[in-house]
A and B are shown apart, each in its own frame.
Chain A
Amino acid sequence: MGMTGMKYAVGLLLAAVLAWTTQSFAADITLAPPTDVSVEDVPDDIGTQMLVMWSTSPSEAALVAGKRALAGYAIFRRVAETGDGLESIGEQATGASEIGFPANFDFQAEQPIGSVSYGRTRFVDENVEAGSTYLYAVAATGPGDTFSPLAVAGFAVTAQMEYFNVGKLWFLIIMLMISLVIIGFVWYAKQGGEIKVRPIAGLEAVSEAVGRATEMGKPVLFVPGILDINDIQTVAGITVLANVAKTAAQYDAQLKVPTARSLVMTTARETVEAAYLGEGRPDAYNEDNIYYLTDEQFGYTAGVQGVMVREEPAACFYMGAFYAESLILAETANSIGAIQVAGTAMPSQLPFFVAACDYTLIGEEFFAASAYLSNDPEQLGSLKGQDIGKIIAAALLVLGCLIATLAVTLDTWRGWQIAELYIKDNILGTEGLVPNEEKVKIIDANIAVELESLAQQPHGGGDGS
């Protein structure tokens, strides 16, 4: 007990000394509060966020004993649970209602809802409830729990929940446009419309490669990538597998599919079995040829490499999502002299496939592969739709660059600059249908400055005096 009592006493003494030093420290400077506190409801959310903004305190640069006097800002708020009587934003003035902050606000008793370090001028309060009304205040904080007087926001704001994300409206329009064009061409093809497509070299090689494997009495190896079925490349790989399996069934070639995911194995089995059935060769289907190795990337690679050198497939297909294993697979298969056809949408692995394989389907070509191989008019129709998508992309690009160029060269007319802003932030961004007012104001202000300087100095440039 004696020991503990001693410690207790020392602790008390320490606390007293600390309290004294912080007090005297704080007395050196009085922090000025930040200015222009404003609050906005964050748009397009479920009403749980508020954006608090302010201008930095004049004390930002002040130093005490070589250290910053201002450590950061603390944000406080008051809630009117149901927003009683506060129907619209901006109705209530500061401190005028029951939710205002008193002049003798007790900083020790109330916890701030958040704090940020110096130099920052915004804070997102993510703990508000939709429908409630809030009043915010910001104080600058110094070392040792010192605070500047409160700067209170001009008015209280109600958090609002939206039922439709207006910011994404243009995205919805573009998505619908591309989707409807694709669906339209699929429907057109279904009605018997004629769809012409150009040949792709890699795809014509598929049946040739399977045929060669049959002649040599060697198996065909199909690698559906290393990602799970929740990646669309794996799905596309499986649809190509369906067509390769069909060809293998026709030629009576042995098809081996090692997978890196259990779900891919399950899906691949369904697919290949159906393909063999479709060709009337259910007897030739062997479930054990489609098997799971391991989820581990390089464990799987080691396994496939082993299969390659031991079973010496005559044709190897890599269709799906690939990472670093691409070159290990391609180089090993090359050492056993196999024909290799690869297809992936992994830009980082395309160089290796292009360099080491016989044929490579690059990006979009890979997604087109199943349509080509199936020769199903409906699927070929979707390719035509994709082409229209590319035309839309090209049109946006050319138009956008043109407007951006005009905005720079004819920089005294606000129309071009607003048009550029609209394309970038609204059509291709998330600002919704109307251009952002603040950004338009900045444009107008810049133009005003530009016009003024033109009026003063007809020669442009100048000596800056």
Chain B
Amino acid sequence: MSQHDTTHAPKATGGGLIGWIVGLLVLVVGMVVAGFVLDAGQVWVVPETQSYVALGGTADAPERWVASASEAGQAAAAAGTVVVASSWETVTELPAGAADRPAAAVMSWNRTIGVWLAAILTLCIMSFLIGDNPFYKTAEALVVGASAAYWMVYSFYTGIVDKLLVNLWPGLVRSWTTPGLADDYHWHWIYIIPLILSIMLVCRLLPSGGWIARWPLAFIIGATAGFRLLAHLESDFLLQIKGTITSLWAVNAADTFAFWPSVSAIVILLSVLACLVYFFFSMEHTGLVGKTARGGILVLMVTFGAAFGLTVMGRITLLTERFDFLFKDWLHLL
């Protein structure tokens, strides 16, 4: 079901290079003009100071924080019982290109630069459609590096801190990232198992003895096998059979024969059976089996066609969203 009539993505040689340079120049000039004419990418924000006071604990370990502006905060300030105070600034972003800005609004340089960066990166990735080029390579290098680090940070805080450390040394986590952790939260010995397995896994880095990493791998794959076997048998096998079982003689609310629902019930049953025959491994697809299997593959093709049609819808929306970003948030054209 495929073709080998391919069009090769041309390399950026001689003429190509000139094309790229001209294109780039046009883009840069366009961007500069857009920057001045359309205020492209400008983000305005309203700054706001958050300030809190602690009413209990010590200066080193303050407790019971309340907003300074709250009743309790003001009362404590008046009574002089504030242990320690802290304040920082947050900002509220205004909609892109909003005409009437409040007086307190200021332009946020870091967010404006951010929108420009985002727009340029969007164009860099899209440039791959013309052919592989230095802009795409740069964007690709950035996304690989930054996203790998992003996931490391995320798994460190959500996996190692919030799952492993919190269950082995709750006190440490309470004083560090999660002061809200209940005081009666105790450690769980069972989490020594993942700790040991993790250490074994990291042994892979050692010049010799890396084979010890096979133990945790065996643990994971064994657990996966057992867990998935049950989960899929229950939800995919039993539930789908159950869902298909219905009366082939359909009736409506008045208890009289309903023609089209009956047809569809029969078609569904026969289609499922035909597809199952298609998946048979121990019978050659000849004779009656072959004909039924062919019916099965036809049903599968309709299934795939329908899924294709529905998916197109989603993919186009994604592109719309990107253009929305470029035209609205960056160029302020809409």
State yes or no: do A and B touch (Cβ within 8 Å): yes
A390:B276 contact, CB within 8 angstroms: yes
A351:B305 contact, CB within 8 angstroms: yes
Q: Is B248 an interface residue (CB 8 A)?
A: yes
A351:B204 contact, CB within 8 angstroms: no
CA distance A356 to B2 in the complex (A): 6
CA distance A337 to B311 in the complex (A): 25
- B215-249 vs A: 1/0 string, CB under 8 Å? 00100110111001110111001110110111111
Q: Is B13 an interface residue (CB 8 A)?
A: no
Contacts across chains A and B counted by CB atoms under 8 Å: 196
- A356-395 vs B: 1/0 string, CB under 8 Å? 1110101111001000000000000001101100100110
- A147-165 vs B: 1/0 string, CB under 8 Å? 0000000000000000000
CA distance A230 to B281 in the complex (A): 27
Q: Which of B136-144, B165-173, B324-332 makes up part of the contact surface?
A: B136-144
CA distance A336 to B224 in the complex (A): 37
Which residues 171-214 of A have a CB within 8 angstroms of B? 171, 174-175, 178, 195-198
CA distance A408 to B1 in the complex (A): 44
* Given A235-B225, A337-B6, A384-B282: A302 in contact with B248 (beta carbons within 8 A): no
B143:A401 contact, CB within 8 angstroms: no
Which residues 384-436 of A have a CB within 8 angstroms of B? 384, 386-387, 390, 393-394, 396-398, 400-401, 404-405, 407-409, 420, 423-424, 428-429
Q: Is A143 an interface residue (CB 8 A)?
A: no
Q: Which of B213, B250, B301 contacts A266 (CB 8 A)?
A: B213
For B214, the closest partner residue in chain A by CB is A270
B311:A386 contact, CB within 8 angstroms: no
B144:A355 contact, CB within 8 angstroms: no
CA distance A363 to B297 in the complex (A): 13
- Kindly list chain B residues whose C-beta atoms are within 8 Å of the C-beta of A396: 241, 245
- Kindly list chain B residues whose C-beta atoms are within 8 Å of the C-beta of A294: 143-145, 147-148, 151
The A contact surface, by secondary structure, is helix
Q: Is A67 an interface residue (CB 8 A)?
A: no
CA distance A270 to B1 in the complex (A): 35
* Given A352-B308, A355-B308, A424-B242: A408 in contact with B128 (beta carbons within 8 A): no
B144:A423 contact, CB within 8 angstroms: no
CA distance A198 to B293 in the complex (A): 13
B276:A394 contact, CB within 8 angstroms: yes
* Given A299-B144, A383-B282: A232 in contact with B245 (beta carbons within 8 A): no
CA distance A156 to B8 in the complex (A): 78
For A200, the closest partner residue in chain B by CB is B281
B8:A351 contact, CB within 8 angstroms: no
Q: Is A231 an interface residue (CB 8 A)?
A: yes
- Kindly list chain B residues whose C-beta atoms are within 8 Å of the C-beta of A267: 217, 221
B139:A302 contact, CB within 8 angstroms: yes
Q: Which of B6, B146, B150, B225 contacts A232 (CB 8 A)?
A: B225
CA distance A387 to B273 in the complex (A): 13
Q: Is B119 an interface residue (CB 8 A)?
A: no
* Given A229-B220, A231-B224, A405-B248: A198 in contact with B284 (beta carbons within 8 A): yes
- Kindly list chain B residues whose C-beta atoms are within 8 Å of the C-beta of A355: 1-2, 304, 308
- Kindly list chain A residues whose C-beta atoms are within 8 Å of the C-beta of B259: none
For B151, the closest partner residue in chain A by CB is A295
- B115-140 vs A: 1/0 string, CB under 8 Å? 00000000001001000100011011
CA distance A338 to B323 in the complex (A): 32
- Kindly list chain B residues whose C-beta atoms are within 8 Å of the C-beta of A235: 221, 224-225
CA distance A355 to B288 in the complex (A): 28
A394:B4 contact, CB within 8 angstroms: no
Which 7 A-B pairs give the minimum distances between C-beta atoms? A296-B147, A400-B245, A299-B147, A351-B304, A295-B151, A294-B148, A428-B242
User: What are 6 A-B residue pairs whose CB atoms fall within 8 Å in the complex?
Assistant: A195-B282, A263-B217, A302-B139, A305-B140, A310-B132, A324-B315
